[in-house]
Amino acid sequence: MFQWLTQRKRSFGYAFSGVWALFSTQPHALIHAVAACVVVAIGIYFGIDKVEWAILILTIGVVIALEAMNTAIEFLADAVHPDQHPLIGKAKDVAAGSVLIASIAAACIGAVIFYPYILQKII
């Protein structure tokens, strides 16, 4: 049992190290984090409901998780083949594209959630 707990602690340490590497080396990850903080502040300001919070939290998590996967792919690709290679370039482009797609979807979700609140404030 003690060994199992020690292994879990070590695993969490590796995961937190990965999160640190993400936010300390990737400017876009910081942009996503700032955007998430802004969205949370707006959600608090408008007093959104539990379902809207759940949707926003999931959306934020997906975007940041995809940014992390994109970063992992870039790190791995650079380690395997540091020189330019067309297939490595395509893999990196597709990974970056997945973050872009999720970010656009997140912006649309934010618009759908916040539009009624903003409209209510204007009227």
**What are the DSSP calls for the chain, one per residue?**
-HHHHHHHHHHHHHHHHHHHHHHHH-HHHHHHHHHHHHHHHHHHHHT--HHHHHHHHHHHHHHHHHHHHHHHHHHHHHHH--S--HHHHHHHHHHHHHHHHHHHHHHHHHHHHHHHHHHHHH-
| Domain boundary assignment for the chain | 28-122
Tens digits of per-residue pLDDT, 3-20? 888 999 999 999 999 999
- pTM higher than 0.75: yes
Read off the pLDDT of residues 19-59 as tens digits, 9 standing for 90 and up: 999 999 999 999 999 999 999 999 999 999 999 999 999 99
Active site includes 67?
A: yes
CATH class of 28-122: mainly alpha
pLDDT tens by residue, 58-98:
999 999 999 999 999 999 999 999 999 999 999 999 999 99
Question: Which of the following is catalytic: 36, 63, 67, 102?
Answer: 67
